[in-house]
Amino acid sequence: MQLVIEEKLKELEKNYKNKNLSYWKDWKWQLKNSIKTISAFERLLNIKFTHEEREELEKITSTFPLSITPYYLSLIDPDDYKHDPIFLQAFPSINESMVGNHDMEDPLYEDKDSPVPGITHRYPDRVLFHISNVCAMYCRHCTRKRKVGDVSSIPNKEELKKGIDYIRNTPQIRDVLLSGGDALLLSDENLDWILTEIQKISHVEVIRIGSRVPVVLPYRITGDLVNMLKKHHPIWINTHFNHPRELTEDSKEALRKLADAGIPLGNQSVLLAGINDCPEIIKKLCQQLVKNRVRPYYLYQCDLSEGLAHFRTPVSKGIEIMERLIGHTSGFAVPRYVIDAPGGGGKIPVMPNYFISFAPNKVILRNYEGIITSYKEPDSYKNHDCIKGCEDCKLMMKTYEADKYKAIGIEKLLLDSVDTISLIPQNNNRLQRREDNDED
Ligand SMILES: *Cc1c(COP(=O)(O)O)cnc(C)c1O
Ligand code: SF4
């Protein structure tokens, strides 16, 4: 695989005439040399469109910009580009100009749920913070299609400060999701500044970064970047692989660097007609992801954004895929299939049915093989009437005060429930001698 890719790279390099191969892994070179026109695409892949086709495609790219890194382009199989999952995600289709009755500019109401520019506050304890409007590659299936690539709306420092202020002034936010555009297209310095500012806020417990660079521009994951990110733990990263072909040696290397820096990695795929709407492709993708320490997180039903109709599958396709994953492969290789509710209701999980029937003390279930089974519920069970009065509840739900309840020192010896019989100071000579004797 590596060889094939390298050969292709060299082939492409020849087309890039004067460009030196040593630049290939420089992410800034990749961005600077991104392919943005239909004609450059044709030249590099030896494709010829008719005059009408080219005109139509150019019209589309004036609304939804085209941009693809040389790296991502090099993964396309020129001999069968029409079916190539990389090509189909990167190159415009004339179908994009078709806007259906139910299509919307902002189907998830990200703007309506926005208290200040750049922030979408939908769920009680977490926010989405758009810190960039640019991406290394403009995915044709992007739900924020109308926004990304609009260079005039790249958030400036003042706007970012307003977003950070909102987070600071909203104590229920404990999870901040940095997204875009692509959050990792900011410079190390700017990202470091944002992470530092957010981390100063005491109620923020975790920061997540959403980025497609491990897929489309793996060279962005530099040693400097991961060293900077490492300073800001707990940092989680979610990336966006859609097809096993995207897991190249270079993207695996990027994932390795991130995972080695102690960053838990997740993946969000979009179910796309003609690209990955197949249980075997998704299974292979998920298995390859966990092999590279990435946990499949979400499989999204394609949104109702304008110009995406040709990518949408029926929901039943997603259910069929989940049916063929659950039980058939490792539980942690199975993503959650979700529909992001049009109108801003958030992500709604959908699943095959495993419940078959109920009786007051029995549940009838079926498993992934079709075995029908019954689970006997307890004959007596005393329910806790939960009115969220945790202060008076018998269950130890006061987790926020757990430290107070931890037995300390002599108290430990007094409690019947703890079987500690002695408290031993550090570096006790007698016990050290015992350990030494044991070793002999
Ligand atoms: C997806 C999303 C989140 C994060 O949701 P999780 O289910 O916690 O991953 C937060 N805010 C918005 C607006 C989102 O779309
Ligand atoms: S990387 Fe994400 S935000 Fe950017 S174009 Fe792709 S899907 Fe959209």
| Average pLDDT estimate for 303-313 | 92
Catalytic residue among 72, 138, 142, 166: 142
Pairwise CA distance, residues 406 & 14, whole Å: 67
Q: What is the pLDDT of residue 102?
A: 80
Q: Which one has a higher pLDDT value, 388 or 59?
A: 59
Distance 215 CA to ligand 1 centre (A): 21
Contact 271, 318 (CB under 8 A): yes
Q: What is the pLDDT of residue 152?
A: 63
Q: Is 298 a residue whose pLDDT tops 80?
A: yes
Distance 380 CA to ligand 1 centre (A): 39
Distance 239 CA to ligand 2 centre (A): 10
Pairwise CA distance, residues 102 & 124, whole Å: 28
Q: What is the pLDDT of residue 394?
A: 74
Which residue's CA is the nearest one to ligand 1's atom 3? 128
Q: Is 400 a residue whose pLDDT tops 60?
A: no
Distance 124 CA to ligand 1 centre (A): 10
Q: Is 282 a residue whose pLDDT tops 90?
A: yes
Choice among 77-86, 263-272, 397-406 with the minimum mean pLDDT:
397-406
Is residue 278 flagged as an active site residue?
no
In ligand 2, the atom with minimum distance to the C-alpha of 138 is: 5
Contact 21, 268 (CB under 8 A): no
Question: Which residue, chain included where needed, has tokens 């040593």?
Answer: 22
C-beta of 220 in contact with ligand 1 (< 6 A): no
| Average pLDDT estimate for 275-304 | 97
**3.40.1190.20, 3.20.20.70, 3.40.190.10, 3.30.310.50: which CATH number matches 119-349?**
3.20.20.70
Q: What is the pLDDT of residue 326?
A: 98
Choice among 1-10, 70-79, 171-180, 390-399 with the minimum mean pLDDT:
1-10
Question: pLDDT class for 1, splitting at 50, 70, 90?
Answer: very low
3-state secondary structure of 429: helix
Q: What are phi and psi of 166, to 5 degrees?
A: -60, -45
| Average pLDDT estimate for 112-129 | 92
Q: How many CA atoms lie within 13 A of 399 on its CB side?
A: 1
Q: Which one has a higher pLDDT value, 30 or 150?
A: 30
Q: Please, what's the b/e burial string for 293-325 (b: 16 or more CB within 10 A of its CB; e: otherwise)? A: ebbbbbbbbbbbbbbbbbbbbeeebbebbbebb
Question: pLDDT class for 420, splitting at 50, 70, 90?
Answer: confident
Catalytic residue among 71, 84, 135, 166: 135
Is residue 139 flagged as an active site residue?
yes
* Dihedral sign from CA coordinates of 358, 362, 363, 364: negative
Q: How many CA atoms lie within 13 A of 27 on its CB side?
A: 24
User: Within the chain, how many helices (H) and strands (E) appear?
Assistant: 16, 12
In ligand 1, the atom with minimum distance to the C-alpha of 110 is: 13
Q: Which of 33-47, 182-196, 412-426 has the highest mean pLDDT?
A: 182-196
Q: Which of 141-145, 297-301, 411-415 has the highest mean pLDDT?
A: 297-301
Pairing of strands 362-366, 372-376: antiparallel
Amino acid at 283: K
Amino acid at 357: S
97-117 pLDDT, tens digit per residue, is: 887 778 887 887 777 789 999
Q: Which of 121, 177, 237 to mutate to test the pocket of ligand 1 (most atoms within 8 A of CB)?
A: 177
Q: Which of 58-62, 225-229, 382-386 has the highest mean pLDDT?
A: 225-229
Is residue 286 flagged as an active site residue?
no
Q: What HEC string does 344-366 produce?
A: CCEEEECCCCCEEEEECCEEEEE
3-state secondary structure of 103: coil
Catalytic residue among 139, 145, 286, 337: 139
Beta bridge partners of 209: 178, 237
Which of 323, 302, 321, 324 has the alpha carbon at shortest distance from 313? 302
Q: Is 6 a residue whose pLDDT tops 80?
A: no
Q: Which one has a higher pLDDT value, 48 or 192?
A: 192
Q: Is 244 a residue whose pLDDT tops 50?
A: yes
| Average pLDDT estimate for 335-357 | 94
Q: What is the pLDDT of residue 17?
A: 44
Q: What is the pLDDT of residue 2?
A: 43
139-196 pLDDT, tens digit per residue, is: 999 988 777 766 666 788 999 999 999 999 999 999 999 998 899 999 999 999 999 9
Is residue 126 flagged as an active site residue?
yes
Is residue 393 flagged as an active site residue?
no
Radius of gyration (Cα) for the chain, nearest Å? Answer: 26
Q: Is 13 a residue whose pLDDT tops 70?
A: no
Q: Is 75 a residue whose pLDDT tops 90?
A: yes
Q: So where are the chain's domains?
A: 2-97, 119-349
Q: What is the pLDDT of residue 105?
A: 79
Q: How much is the mean pLDDT over the chain?
A: 88
Amino acid at 80: D
Which of 144, 224, 150 has the alpha carbon at shortest distance from 191? 224
Instruction: Residue 280: count other Cβ atoms within 10 Å of its Cβ.
Output: 11
Q: What is the pLDDT of residue 18?
A: 44
Distance 347 CA to ligand 1 centre (A): 7
Q: What is the pLDDT of residue 5?
A: 47
| Average pLDDT estimate for 387-391 | 68
Is residue 174 flagged as an active site residue?
no
Question: pLDDT class for 345, splitting at 50, 70, 90?
Answer: confident
Question: pLDDT class for 9, splitting at 50, 70, 90?
Answer: low
Beta bridge partners of 363: 358, 375
Q: Which one has a higher pLDDT value, 202 or 403?
A: 202
Q: What is the pLDDT of residue 432?
A: 80
In ligand 2, the atom with minimum distance to the C-alpha of 144 is: 8
If you ran DSSP here, which 8-state letter would residue 14 be given? H
Of all residues in the chain, what percent are helix, strand and coil, respectively (each to 5)?
A: 40, 15, 45
Q: What angle, 0 to 180 degrees and rounded to 10, lies between the N-to-C axes of helices 2-15 and 38-45? A: 120
Is residue 340 flagged as an active site residue?
yes
